[in-house]
Amino acid sequence: MSQPLSLDPALIEAAQTATAWPFEEARKLVERLKRTGKKEALFETGYGPSGLPHIGTFGEVARTSMVRNAFRVLTGDTIPTRLIAFSDDMDGLRKVPDNVPNKELVASALGKPLTQVPDPFGTHESFAHHNNARLREFLDAFGFDYEFLSATECYKAGRFDKTLLTVLERYDAVMAIMLPSLREERQQSYSPFLPVHPKTGIVMQVPIDERKLDAGTIVWRDPATGERFETPVTGGHAKLQWKPDWAMRWVALGVDYEMAGKDLIDSVKLSGEIAKALGGLPPDGFNYELFLDDKGQKISKSKGNGLTIDEWLTYGTPDSLRLFMFNKPREAKKLYFDVIPRQVDDYLTFLEKYPAQDARMRLMNPVWHLHAGNPPAPELVSSGGGNQPGTTISFSMLLNLVAVANSEDPGVLWGFIRRYAPGVSPETHPRLDSLAKRAVRYFEDFVKPQKTYRLPDEVEAASLRRLEEALGSFEAEGRPATAEAIQDEIYNVGRTEPRYQDFKAKGATPERPGVSIEWFNTIYQVLLGEPRGPRFGSFVALYGVKESRALIRKALAGDLVREHEAFLKERAA
């Protein structure tokens, strides 16, 4: 049963012209079902359980779910939909994974179906059962709506039998599609069928000597012993090579939509041709781009040069990971630690905008797609009380707060937040509490070592002294130190220094020039050790006027530079 989805008439109307990529994909599926006359839309994602679920697995299920939700809105949810998470667990184990215990136990079962390989973790009846369980826990933790299917169970239960017999009947057509894609030596021994050895249980890659259509069997020889066997292609006694298997599955299950990585473009084409040869229709879908590491190289599981789900969730939120998957799926993107803060902050910005948007804009907003049309309310913080609108405290703001708070305790951050907005707490703002904890971890591991503090020159030092004095006026005069009022003072100080005056800025006059970005860059570099930073008025309001004045004095005295140099020296020791 699909999860509930908001379907007010304005939303359905706006969906017809929505340009977000899930709607573009969903429209293809709408047209497909008009042509085929099917009364249900079946989505599929695949998983190879020779390893644990990874970030690519998440991306494929998340993106497919987004297309599914867009389809449901386009059709007013009048056409049932299902999403199958399919595990190819009848595949033979080719090598022992590097990241498992008890490697000798696994090595003893090389070549056998993954559901016949002992579980090296000792928790399930097989290695595949262990990894399948991890997959389901993984998908359930993210709240995906799906049905799990096991290749072994489907083969053994006869769910694929009819289509497998069709493959046997149209064997020559399948071979004609596959052979040109293979190396010459592989062509000599290739068969789409892989019989399971009745004595050893190994999935055999052997030539087929004879096909018996009436009996539904294949005849082959054990290359080691020369013994001849006749094996049914049904009932789980044999399986297909993966490209014919993919095509067979599409036809047997009636899959309408499945996406795949760009590295599988040729495989998708071949499997699509096989599906047609079997009398079926290949699913719609698209090929998404692959992820890159911090050096711009393609991520490889064997190299371990990417980012794992657990690593992302240590520093970023699940919603920020969903957003990363939503954004530009057809473009190669760097998947490394330094992309996390931007994704977290972009998510918070989109979430804050959502309540005020009309139906058309909501369908353009990523959070609609990330949360199946039901995003949570943004957690806003307001310092002024009364009718003042609240704002979101960004992840980048928290990172800078960690820097100046000089503490690894998220509770210290909450001390500043509570003083800024007394009614706010971890209980009222659990998302913010989660961000505060992640900000501490991210700052210590990635930001602090990369900071570059510098001493100000004479002009910069004079301007920073004037800023410190201007901030002092809030305390001396008892003025409310709101973010807006503080920001005005920062601009006013910048206007007094010719270096920072910008007469080309919008609304600038000789009497009241604009302020160049150089002034703010000076603030960020000298006070925060960063090339860029948050809106500084908001930062001072959150951190505190008194504390910000002390920070400026420390910078002018050279203490920030000395402290960071000492940290780097200690870290290198």
List the binding residues for ATP.
301
Which single residue is written with the structure tokens 């719609």? 284
Task: Please list, in sequence order, all residues whose beta carbon lies within 8 angstroms of the beta carbon of residue 105, skipping any fewer than 6 positions away.
Answer: 118, 120
Tokens standing for 443? 């700052």
**3-class secondary-structure state, position 203:** strand
Distance CA 319, CA 312 (A): 11
Query: Which CA distances in Å does 158 have to 71, 144, 248?
Result: 31, 28, 13
Helix axes 55-74, 127-141, angle to 10 degrees: 50
**CA angle at residue 308 from 305 to 309, to 5 degrees?**
165
Annotated binding site: 301
- Can you spell out the DSSP letters for 71-101? HHHHTTT-S-EEEEEEE-TTSBP-S--TT-S
Tokens standing for 136? 């389901």
Task: Please list, in sequence order, all residues whose beta carbon lies within 8 angstroms of the beta carbon of residue 159, skipping any fewer than 6 positions away.
Answer: 153, 252
Closest CA to 62 of 259, 255, 250: 259
* CB crowding 501-516: b at 16 or more within 10 Å, else e: bbeeeeeeeeeebbbb
Supply φ then ψ for residue 208, to 5 degrees.
-100, 120
